[in-house]
Amino acid sequence: MTIAKRPPVSCLLIDLDDTLYQCPEMSGLVSDKIREYMVNKLKIPVEEVQEKCSELYLNFGTTLAGLVASGYTVDFDDWHAEVHGTLPYEKYLRPDPKMKILLDSIPVPKFIFTNADLKHAEICLDLMGLRSCFQGIICFESIMKAAEQNGMVHHNKPVICKPNRQAFELALKEANGAEIATTAFFDDSTRNITSAHRMGIFSVLIGRVGVECASDVQMRSMHELKEHLPWLVEIGDGCPGDDGPVAASPCLAKNEAAEELLEEAHLTALSVRA
């Protein structure tokens, strides 16, 4: 699916995990750590964890949001330290110079928009060499701070995150007051993409194509920006970025095993999200 005609885009909101980079092994580790936290810290019976994860994700958008809304007491800093703090980032992420070329060729402000914590986002961006491509990181802490300041956090909704419309509204404000009509949003979650699309945001689903999802464009990887959104990526002839996509991590060698792992990770993400 290629959009040849340029919409009036003046800001990009880009999800981090499974969007800017795709690494099914690391996503699997995160899912394991979430389940371990639920068993070890919240004392949820191990046989109930998977079903509860699915229920919480479907009803609240992330496992953390669902746990807190369901009455569990979760220290947010401790959660993020346990879920992300011990990940072997260096094993999976490496510099991605071709993605940097792609991002730097887009002459509009770009922001990471993730439900994850700031430290996790910073580590990932630094290891990939992409931090300088973004004007800011919109994350769990910044959205929650803004939500509290705007009176959005209450006992029925203790965590504000994607796909909640309020999270998008706060993210747009944080992105220097970006407008719905001139923002493009990239994410691997069909729920997040559908929510943004219904708001009128130009929405690009990453990781899967040909799926039922209210979106403007679907593509397998952010490395396909030039192919699907030629009006957005301004790369001259002879640029190193013309050589084709490069994996952002060792997980993404172009082979059948990697494709199967990636699809499995997407299915797992439907039931376990931080």
- Check: CB of residue 196 under 8 Å from CB of residue 187: yes
Compute the average pLDDT of residues 82-103: 97
Domains in the chain: boundaries: 11-269
Tens digits of residue pLDDT in 40-70: 999 999 999 999 998 998 889 899 999 999 9
Determine the pLDDT at residue 233: 78
Helix axes 24-40, 46-60, angle to 10 degrees: 110
Residue 267, sorted as left (phi over 0), alpha (psi -120 to 50) or beta, turns out to be alpha
Q: State the pLDDT at residue 246.
A: 37
User: Is pLDDT at 97 greater than 80 in this prediction?
Assistant: yes
Position 269 scores a pLDDT of 47
Q: Omega of the bond prior to 163 within 30 degrees of 0, cis?
A: yes
How many other C-beta atoms can be found within 10 angstroms of the C-beta atom of residue 45?
A: 9
Compute the Cα dihedral for 57, 60, 62, 63 and give only its sign.
Answer: negative
Q: What is the largest CA-CA distance in the chain?
A: 58
Task: For residue range 219-266, list pLDDT tens digits in order.
Answer: 999 999 999 999 887 643 333 333 433 334 445 433 444 444 445 545
Calculate ∠ Cα 17-203-180, nearest 5°: 110
- Listed in sequence order, the DSSP H helices in 105-152 are 118-128, 140-149
Q: How far apart are CA 171 and CA 174, in angstroms?
A: 5
What is the pLDDT at residue 153? 92
Q: What is the DSSP letter of 186?
A: E
Instruction: Give 16's contacts (C-beta < 8 A, 6+ positions apart).
Output: 112, 114, 116, 120, 121, 124, 125
d(CA 80, CA 190): 24
Evaluate if residue 151 carries a pLDDT over 60.
Answer: yes
CA dist 131 → 19, 155, 221, 250, 273 (Å): 15, 35, 19, 20, 24
CA separation for the pair 62, 169 (Å, rounded):
18
Among 143, 175, 181, 145, CA closest to 162: 143
Any idea which residue has 């701070």 for tokens? 145
CATH topology of domain 11-269: Rossmann fold (3.40.50)
